[in-house]
A and B are shown apart, each in its own frame.
Chain A
């Protein structure tokens, strides 16, 4: 075994050596010359690549299309390639002059793309669809589907939620169309899988992570954006559809592909915080001079200043960087093996993937195992069978440790204390009970948390060709997901606190929950395709029944007398159990006509009728129509003489789709009966009788999907024989019937403030343009592709249920509002006008607080009543970017390839929440004596009045920390998302070791960001995610990856 691997290594060494040594010339070599022309116009082609197959030797044609090259033998094969033309291979034989007419490659536009329930030639598309191929995916070592898509397709806005292993980015297509749910529908190999469905309580929230899909298995991703493309998915198509097609075997010899990469990741930016000495000096100053009275704060009942705790008791020689302590350079290993092949009757593709990813915060880990089998079999002339089967097992471990908490830990706090149970030191305390932040490292290391998701996704189909062109397909699909979450916090203590008693965790606590979710789909599909003269027609009719069922069980308990037994049966106290079952069913009928006349006039029309168990009894079925038209102007006779433009197509589409997930509940049309929270006592023994009454919400029998009506106008263009391609779309997306809670009157007799009834009444508009542009060219042997995409979004809330909707951050501070006439969730706060310099200035300004003093922040009196109140808040920023863009540069030179991918957003603001605590020199709320940015040392004071940091004041009477323009920052950014350099062995060498292809590469992710945002990461969650959208806890780390790829 050992010997063999040794030999193997020698082989590779030899190979590496060969890369750098010039090839040896052979005896039979001779020179040949020739001319390359464009056969369509019979003109010479300059810059065409000519290489000798199996060698790295080559040349290019001159301005007249001529070339000459020395070939080793008559058997040599010339490979002639040029952007925009089909490659040609010519055996030299005994020719000395070779003239070749190249055929323009219109294939790039003739690719077939996957559309819902079928495929279509890309050149015949009339809808708006973006496509990402496996080659593109290969260039980024993407960990999941959303990452693979980011910046690749216009109209798709993707934000990374965090850099935590397993966290998925949020995908929004063409803006945000609902205040409820705006997640697109994912369809994997024809199986619609929702990532999230309704929620009735947090516990019942079902999430099937797309983490279970290995990006390496993906053949292509299609993003259906406009209604004419998505309407075939009816009540679930409103937020766009992402079609994921996995790899299937292709004709030819069996292929083995093996790839491996290793990544190193590290968080690029941490909060700048004070060291021990700065901390002590700042806080003793605050306690001595920053009190409201101006006198030092004394420990109650004594004349000892509280600050003496810092100046006398603290060992400020200890200087711990807590953020550093909980972060690390993490390593990831990723293995992938794919075996595929095809015969005349069958094809197969089998893959295995393994990934072990460590988080850049200690103790966060992810492990993923993927297995996949895809195959198709022709049984006879009319019957075809096939299946796609994938099994995945994903484990994520570790608590989402808060970097934010670490940044607040006092630097002088020791890390360990062997006297404490658990071994960690606690925060310093005095009788004042100061410094509330616990030992973050102890929390990270002592708490155990794991989530395991295993998933089987299977589709089996049979297809029958009844007569030529008419096919019937029956397919059954299943999606089985089990999740198992466990969190265990052992008993530990972090030492005593003067006021608070023992700190830490007094009772070992275990929470375990399991959920089993199934979704099965049965589909009947009838397609007919035929060509009559110049008429080409494809008809499709289908029926689908879908059933979803999820069942959860949660248990918890405390007090584990045997520390070894930490399963639920080890708990001895506070044992609880909880469970639920939720169901959803969908019944659909759909049909589509695709018609083209002479490939010139194109028409697609589709209709879907969906019945859903989630719709109210009066609206059980919804119909979703669409149509789109295309006109290939370039095929008209009058276009013949037009120079440059070889392809021109106009598209127009209209359609209606539904957003079923906007109904967040499973059974919105039932009034819940409350039976355990109403009581009355009867009888001499005063026995409690439980009541039963409509209690929580009133039924809305009319509740239905949110309807989104979309109009799309598009233009596709190819210039210089498709070297330059351009595609532009203008879209108007109107959300009607948005579900909003309506006021519940007292007369209803229902309890206010709980789930209010929902009605389809709101409206939101999204408008914008999308632009995709790509240019392929070459200079000598350097081939390059430049491509870019751009999307604009104009979002407007048109109609609400009468009242504005307020959005709070985790501290319950209102930071956003949704109002009619403005974009959804606009930032809403005070306008800062600078810092008061004199008492006189305060007297002349609107009244803020009795204790407002020079050095406090001045806020603008918007309503002119000379008092700063909640009415002086206004709209101070938008959270949906106005512009999203990405651009890509691909280069290849001989065996080297290079790609750089930039992505960015502009015209957007973000709430820099951590800055509130970090830069206001006061103790805010519960944030007592937490570490802050060194910026606070520059606070306003006599002799330092030119600063923008307010005065030192313990309790912040002026509320300097209120939500104002101070914390709203421009969150536009341009990020070098990925940079990759690869090298492939020449075939001449790789073939010697029986390898078809061997490529090594290095890539760098998130390494360069241009932004004005001062926080850790300008990217934020989509705002419809709720308060967590403002967390800034774990920015995407910078990643360096080294990888290899073999094809056998």
Chain B
């Protein structure tokens, strides 16, 4: 009996260690079991929430194909983007839809996991602010591109992920406002984010970016007064604003941009990679042009880091570079030329407006303002580059082929010039045209010397096709913000029954009102939702 006791106790000993024995921490990969534990994890988690913006399925390439292709500024090589003949199974649309939710999930993961991490409180708040900003940013795209869509505010479980149904646009807009402005209980991104960053953190979402995004959201909801007031917070004191963030337009007073003819192009400098930009401000931002200049409110950050561990590039395989040069550059550089500026866009520029030259390459153009470099030396050859457009993009293209596929040039999302023009638009809608004109003139005034373009008042009186300030604003947005993926959203916005400035079908004959304002929800998503998701109007 004693022996039995011994044996039974041996068995008991083994039985006792049950739980520990079966626990394994995976050695090869980080997993949710051993992640979100420290400050580095928090910083990495927020970095991956930004990452989504850079993907070729979003600001890299697809977004431009879908939006510029549908508008009248560009001609896409693939006619389905112009003729809007894509269906509910379209892969490009599905990719963009997925990308937005990836951004939302990654922001949600930060908002869920980071609060529990023991770390510097100030940094933690900033990271949470960034995550709120990014969630609002992705939701802004979702609500403007799809209208009603599921609003996801937490990381979904396996069961939940296929069972989402749509939320109303109001609900999504409200969430954007909550994330940016906060509510009684919740602090919003505007209050969590700093006005400026130290040089090593430039590029992160700032207070100004959050304000601009919120103001823009008001504008899109036709909440003119709220938009106007909100814009004022980041508009420079000269123009009566609060000057938060210290934004201003880049001016043409730097000798570095002087070419042989003594020509300075500040506008062009805004779209250049840092090596070409000028002196830095105290906070590290370039005073003149270049990436993250004082004109930049928020932009997608790229560099030429490529990491294709499997030797190819495809969906989801990381890179930190822009693919715009590969997709939109000239065929004779070896690029694809999938999207080219249209004749209508090129003709929109007033005679002598240097913004035309900064926006497009014409046949034979060499970007030779820095002749000592080999960059840009291959001229655009329209004849060998296909024949559907005589121009290719210059703005945001970095045609240095030695970088293979990934270019380091940033892409602007919210520029101060855009802020000024949006402010003007709000004012026009509020009926205050004289006030609105000064913001438009502020943009026109910096354009360039020795070339000057007339004040907007003179433009209206001298140009037969521009009869009022609203027309001038439409014109100004097209030439100032061309190829920055605003045009199609603007046209749709201006065609709303209450604004009624344009008819989109005048700009794209294939556009069907009541259908093409929004993309279809990917069919796959509807199929697996078990009836929870309903297709957007007129897409079935």
Give chain A's interface residues, CB within 8 Å of chain B: 200, 464, 466, 472, 474, 522, 524, 526, 543, 545, 580-585, 587, 589, 611-613, 620, 666-667, 670-695, 698-700, 742-754, 757, 759, 802
Contacts and interface: CB of A to CB of B under 8 A. Distances in A.
A673 B29 contact: yes
B85 interface: no
A472 B7 CA distance: 8
B316 A751 contact: yes
Q: Which of B29, B94, B280, B305 has the most CB of A within 10 A?
A: B29
B237 interface: no
B536 to A, nearest CB: 15
Contacts of A743: 162, 524, 528
Interchain residue pairs A-B with the least CB separation, the first 10: A749-B105, A691-B48, A692-B44, A670-B31, A677-B318, A693-B48, A748-B161, A678-B48, A673-B30, A681-B301
Q: Which of A682, A685, A742 has the most CB of B within 10 A?
A: A682
A693 B200 CA distance: 22
Interface string B9-35: 011001100100111101111111101
A613 B33 CA distance: 14
A747 B156 contact: yes
B158 A682 contact: no
Contact of B51 (A583, A680, A699, A802): A680
Contact of A693 (B106, B162, B201): B106
B162 A757 contact: no
A613 B303 contact: no
A370 B32 CA distance: 45
Nearest to B273: A686
Contact of A692 (B10, B41, B315): B41
B105 A748 contact: yes
A314 to B, nearest CB: 38
B24 A613 contact: yes
Given A585-B24, A670-B26, A747-B161, 9 more contacts: A464-B3, A666-B26, A672-B29, A672-B30, A687-B200, A688-B305, A747-B162, A750-B102, A751-B316
Contact of A686 (B23, B315, B408): B408
Interface of B: 3-4, 7, 10-11, 14-15, 18, 21-24, 26-33, 35, 41, 43-45, 47-51, 54, 94, 97-98, 101-106, 108-109, 150, 152, 155-156, 158, 161-162, 164, 199-204, 274, 280, 284-286, 291-292, 301-303, 305, 307, 309, 315-320, 408, 522, 524-525, 528-529
Q: Which of A524, A581, A583, A613 has the most CB of B within 10 A?
A: A524
Given A677-B316, A680-B301, A589 B15 contact: yes
B21 to A, nearest CB: 6
Given A545-B14, A698-B161, A746-B97, A200 B28 contact: yes
B104 A749 contact: yes
B201 A682 contact: yes
A679 B47 contact: yes
Contacts of A682: 47, 200-204, 301
A620 B22 contact: yes
B156 A670 contact: no
A87 to B, nearest CB: 44
Nearest to B317: A677
A680 B47 contact: yes
A841 B318 CA distance: 54
B162 A745 contact: yes
Given A582-B28, A672-B31, A673-B32, A693 B49 contact: yes
A744 B316 CA distance: 15
A679 B305 contact: yes
A743 B530 CA distance: 12
A677 B44 CA distance: 11
B45 A693 contact: yes
Contacts of B27: 580-583
Contact of B274 (A675, A684, A699, A747): A684
Contact of B102 (A581, A689, A751): A751
B525 A747 contact: yes
A694 B203 CA distance: 23
A698 B51 contact: no
B35 A524 contact: no
Contact of B30 (A545, A675, A700, A742): A675
B23 A613 contact: yes
A691 B36 CA distance: 12
A832 B101 CA distance: 46
Contacts of A742: 158, 162
Nearest to B280: A684
B7 A684 contact: no
Contact of A694 (B7, B23, B32): B32
A580 B18 CA distance: 26
Contacts of B529: 745
B307 A753 contact: no
Q: Which of B47, B103, B162, B320 has the most CB of A within 10 A?
A: B47
A379 B50 CA distance: 72
A749 B99 CA distance: 8
Contacts of A684: 199-200, 202, 274, 280, 284-286, 292
B422 to A, nearest CB: 26
16 contacts: A580-B28, A679-B319, A680-B48, A688-B320, A691-B44, A691-B47, A691-B106, A692-B44, A693-B48, A698-B158, A699-B158, A743-B524, A746-B97, A746-B525, A749-B155, A802-B528
Contacts of A685: 199-200
B198 to A, nearest CB: 9
B106 A612 contact: no
Nearest to A686: B303
Contact of A676 (B7, B201, B318, B524): B318
Contacts of A753: 315
Contacts of B274: 684, 686
Given A464-B3, A679-B305, A752 B109 contact: no
B525 A611 contact: no
Contacts of A589: 15
A677 B11 CA distance: 47
Contact of A681 (B43, B155, B162, B320): B320
A689 B47 contact: yes
Given A545-B21, A749-B101, A671 B31 contact: yes
A679 B306 CA distance: 10
A746 B408 contact: no
Contacts of B14: 522, 524, 543, 545, 587
A673 B31 contact: yes
Contacts of A583: 24, 27
Contacts of B45: 691-693
A592 to B, nearest CB: 16
Q: Which of A543, A585, A693 has the most CB of B within 10 A?
A: A693
Contacts of A683: 199-203, 284
A676 B152 contact: no
A466 B162 contact: no
Contacts of B15: 543, 589
B368 to A, nearest CB: 25
B32 A752 contact: no
Contacts of A580: 27-28
Contacts of B104: 749
B48 A585 contact: no
Contacts of A584: 24
